[in-house]
Structure 1
């Protein structure tokens, strides 16, 4: 994205792999629920895990130890101009699908157009920016963009390439269990619909000798078993049926891993620290509802949430709180500190309309003990009064028209921990005269209601990366306020947010890009759109002792590109 890639043209492997990792063995992983299709690119149904990273290949691949750089996979080269008005890819002559047929320019064009106009809509926005496609040689093609776009060559480089001939005369959207013919390191070996899938490493994989792939894709077999509930997964792991288990609760990590396999050393407990952004998770306020339109109201509701107490109850106080959308990374603003330098310069034109705290510095309310929390409640009451809400003789918070302050917290069946968190918050809100209740609905209803923004408050989570780009527009841009199904659940409508997104997308150097992201972080955080809870700054993985991973942990930690990609099987 900026400057040159970190690795030289003659690199022998990625920095976060063991280039000499042995091949062989298997890893069995678990998933909750079920699946009803092997096609992860369609809109309907529940796709199986693993097809995209294991079976289907892309033109280029990520180095997860280096944000915003891609290296050639199916493509041996990529060419673009300084303005990024086009991208030309040249395919490797040896690139093959698993059936031995070559990956052609025609396959690439057909795949990109198909995914850009049908199937899952996550690919549609980028394709709309492609004005036309030109075949420039027997193995090369050029995408000409509707306007210069610095990120679009990278986005296209990560698009999956499918085999056109497999889909001729067939409905791409039809659910089914026919394996995709891909050009990736694995092929689908066995499928038990809804319950199990097994991938076998392709010994004839065309890409096995590429420097980019050295030390990756080491297991002979990767298998996913599906279970009805998370507790069944943990019990299966304890019994030795599953190879690796990811523990999300630090309290359970400290108390539930004393079973015999751990004591014998047959199961190893590994903590993987990462440096990726925290992202945002918590309870989102729908500002389309006039009840939450005033930032003072949102701040009061956040102040009533006794984070320190709830964190201690739920996870032993181990998990750090989300301080901002990009906290835990160099892209995050410094909470409580005023904007300075280029950040301030970028935000200055919007100063009169910014929510208080954006420029001056905003930090979440802290209450290390009950007395501090009571102070927060008193401050919350003052803010509500300033916003036009007063408590009546019956202890009910009402506005000037006499309407009570009442809202619903919408959760999905199975979100038991979030339900417990919400219940504590509901009790705290009573001290302010606020009437809140938790409503639990099924997943299908939740999808429909959030798509239509038919909620007051609900659980919200957005994972963010060290290379934020076009997806930021989908999450926070004002264009999504009235469009059903956008990521802008909170209804952010701030010119400053729109401008910072445009700035980060057009920035030509890292300093300006970083400043734009930090400025956006300020706008989002000071907006008080989400009552944030905690994040994990490390993964907690319990796994069989025969499963090994490289000593060097990438910036992204345990995220994509780690397990099973760089792990291997080795007997003691």
Structure 2
């Protein structure tokens, strides 16, 4: 009798362990902020008026409306047509709520998930969003997506099964970490299978006819390389969802393309477009003194945010033999004088980026903690020097002179040790007689004033350094796979607050020779193993410790020369836009939850200020 009772208890415990959770969303760690019956997100104005136009600029050009192909350069916001089963918010980290999916069902171990698609969800052509479209989208990414993304997706998913027209089930690979796997699959853009069958388009091609999506905006007008206009779809299926209340407030969104930021600023001053997120410190410090600013018709503001730093940096191409030695990379980095640049060129507006997770709790600081050492010490034989017993690598702090003599002496010693001594002509050569040539590839006029002094410093160190300006199309071709035809470029080594498989795309060995994201071609056994530890973390505390350890090693690899960041959004706009106050910590939201004041706009047009 006792044995029977024990058996019943064991079976009951097993069933309890496999209890199926049904929810309106999912959080990687902890509880969701918003309950199932929430009316709207806290940071929006649910009564925001609808209508008007948000207009802004972009630099460069475009020749495609396919944002998922490495061929061509896609137009800005081309991906906004596509929604996903789940979506995040701007005031939470690691939380996803149902968008196309009304609810999800999954076991405690997250080994599978069922998405229940909303009955009202439909594409812009009026056809319903079905589980067949979801599986088609998944299989498209699996077979024709970006190669680095495709590899990670194949590792995650065992199968995708249509249970009914509005129900789809994903089963995950047994050995893949399950922490945020539901959010990852739930975040895939969903395409219309019918659209692909009707047009016969190839997902990997560059094309101008946009793919059919389910999003709130559709492409209304395109002047190739010059102008894009998106129009709010009056039949948008998701207009009344609580997750969308107070969002998608503009009738149209217009983007004007310019050859460079200076031309764009002149367009803004002339009233050609109305909103500018100012990224030029020089223009921000000296340019906003024109009449419309003085009269108050143009608002300038610095809006605080809580975002971590961007990972913007000069990136080395480690596929080049000359950059294999970290001493060479360190020496080159020493010759970038951020302090002089910030005071002389940036008007003191920026802070130096030091970490891949700067301005967040994930940034490594001080010497490794006992918890970090427990992760790092088993990898001691493959770690870069200093990781176990020193503070994390941080950029050299230079003097106020363009050429810092102390930095130059240190860089010179490193190059001597690395086998690049100075010859009688003042140039550094290796044992083969090859000069140490370093080319900065750049497609941005605003970076000229930054790169040129850097190049001057490197020349004084004995390098054959040069700055090559090219256009956007050439840049896309040269920095992307399979060419990788560059020495140093500016890029963004992006990271997340809850890092997932994107770590392998940006920093993993398997993506080094085929990824558009792993620009430097990093191949580090230590980094690969630490990425596995990060992905396997089951609690916020475990993940934080693992990310700090990874941050230390990435910084010690010296794969970048970190650039700069600021803790505010510096914006200027014609006084016809309004926004929630305060803004949420993780988004500016000018295209999302700002709104248009029709009376103010009419006054600006009547005065001739706006065109």
* 2:567 corresponds to 1:567: no
Unaligned stretches of 5+ residues in structure 2: 1-27, 601-611
Q: What corresponds to 2:439 in structure 1? A: 409
* 2:52 corresponds to 1:22: no
1:447 shift after superposition: 3.9
* 2:341 corresponds to 1:314: no
Q: What corresponds to 2:96 in structure 1? A: 70
Query: Out of 156, 163, 170, which is 1:143 matched to?
Result: 170
* 2:342 corresponds to 1:305: no
SS of 1:135's equivalent in the other structure is strand
Q: What corresponds to 1:331 in structure 2? A: 362
* 2:299 corresponds to 1:268: yes
Q: What corresponds to 1:554 in structure 2? A: 584
* 2:385 corresponds to 1:356: yes
User: Which aligned runs of 4 or more in structure 1 are off by greater than 6 angstroms?
Assistant: none
Instruction: Report if the CA contact (8 A) 2:441-2:486 is conserved.
Output: no
Unaligned stretches of 5+ residues in structure 1: none
2: CA distance, partners of 1:541 / 1:19: 23
2: CA distance, partners of 1:515 / 1:56: 35
TM-score (norm 2): 0.85
TM-score (norm 1): 0.91
TM-aligned CA distance change 1:18 to 1:428, over 3 Å: same
1: CA distance, partners of 2:230 / 2:318: 45
2: CA distance, partners of 1:56 / 1:458: 30
Per mean C-alpha deviation after superposition, the further-off stretch among 429-438 and 253-262 is 429-438
TM-aligned CA distance change 1:122 to 1:191, over 3 Å: farther
Q: What corresponds to 1:542 in structure 2? A: 572
* 2:81 corresponds to 1:50: no
Q: What corresponds to 1:395 in structure 2? A: 426
Query: Out of 217, 236, 251, which is 1:186 matched to?
Result: 217
Q: What corresponds to 1:422 in structure 2? A: 451
Q: What corresponds to 1:161 in structure 2? A: 190
1:550 shift after superposition: 1.1
2: CA distance, partners of 1:81 / 1:278: 35
1:179 shift after superposition: 5.0
Instruction: Report if the CA contact (8 A) 2:158-2:172 is conserved.
Output: yes
2: CA distance, partners of 1:167 / 1:243: 36
Give the RMSD, CA atoms, in angstroms.
2.6
SS of 2:255's equivalent in the other structure is strand
1: CA distance, partners of 2:427 / 2:223: 56
1: CA distance, partners of 2:402 / 2:191: 61
SS of 2:348's equivalent in the other structure is coil
Query: Out of 17, 29, 32, which is 2:59 matched to?
Result: 32
2: CA distance, partners of 1:195 / 1:187: 18
1:105-254 matched pairs, under 5 angstroms:
105-118=131-144, 121=147, 124-128=150-154, 129-147=156-174, 148-150=176-178, 151-173=180-202, 176-178=207-209, 180-254=211-285
1:461-500 matched pairs, under 5 angstroms:
461-481=492-512, 483-500=513-530
TM-aligned CA distance change 1:493 to 1:226, over 3 Å: closer
1: CA distance, partners of 2:321 / 2:69: 37
1:191 shift after superposition: 3.7
SS of 2:246's equivalent in the other structure is coil
1: CA distance, partners of 2:286 / 2:556: 37
Per mean C-alpha deviation after superposition, the further-off stretch among 376-385 and 14-23 is 376-385
Per mean C-alpha deviation after superposition, the further-off stretch among 57-66 and 227-236 is 227-236
SS of 2:587's equivalent in the other structure is coil
1:114 shift after superposition: 2.3
Q: What corresponds to 1:434 in structure 2? A: 463
2: CA distance, partners of 1:213 / 1:122: 32
1: CA distance, partners of 2:300 / 2:197: 48
1: CA distance, partners of 2:285 / 2:454: 26
How many pairs does the alignment contain?
Answer: 563
Query: Out of 527, 537, 545, which is 1:515 matched to?
Result: 545
SS of 2:195's equivalent in the other structure is helix
Per mean C-alpha deviation after superposition, the further-off stretch among 244-253 and 184-193 is 184-193
